[in-house]
Each structure stands twice: as structure tokens, then as C-alpha cells.
Amino acid sequence: MFYKIFFAAATIALFASQAVGAPADMNVPEARDVTNLAPNARAVLIAANPIAACNCPDNCQHNVGDSCAFYHHGNVLNGECHKRPNHPKLKCVV
């Protein structure tokens, strides 16, 4: 009888130790897309409004003339980043 309890406790301890060590670094080569079949994360992100489509935090690299996309009443609108008069931020203009 004692060996059954000992075996069960050892098994539970083994599984618990494996679960604690389960979270892994996602930057390891096994976690990357080595086939290059997955879409680029930047290509699938669409901004919530025309200002966010061309500015930080997600689109800090955009410049005047770059393509942009944002949601408007449930539709995705594609446009181009333009400089707004008397304003430091860009705006996505359709």
C-alpha cells in the first residue's frame, strides 16, 4: 500500500517539476518561422484610426508617402501618409 502512495507522489512531483519548467524563451530557433510561410506581423496590423496608422507607437518608422491602412466603420481603408499643416504628426489620407 505504501509503495502506491510513494509512486503516486513521485509521479505528481515529476509532472509538477516539468510544468514549472515549461515556459520557454520564444526567441529560440525552434520557435521561429524557418519556412518563411507565416505572414509578416507588420503586414497584418491595421490601425484603429488615420492618425495611429502613420505614427507611434506601432508605426514610428512611417514617413510621408508611405502606405497605411486603418479601420473606419468596420471597413479597412488604405491610404498614404501625409504631413498635416501646423501639426507634427502624419495622417493617413485615403
Contact between 47 and 92 (Cβ < 8 Å): yes
Residue 61, in any domain of the structure = yes
Residue 22, in any domain of the structure = no
Alpha-carbon span 59 to 4, nearest angstrom: 60
Q: How many domains does the chain fold into?
A: 1
- Residue 20, pLDDT score: 56
Integer angstrom CA distances of residue 43 from 68, 69, 70, 72: 10, 10, 12, 18
Range of the domain at 54: 46-94
User: Over the stretch 28-41, which tens digit does the pLDDT of each residue have?
Assistant: 454 555 555 555 54
User: Over the stretch 59-70, which tens digit does the pLDDT of each residue have?
Assistant: 888 999 999 999
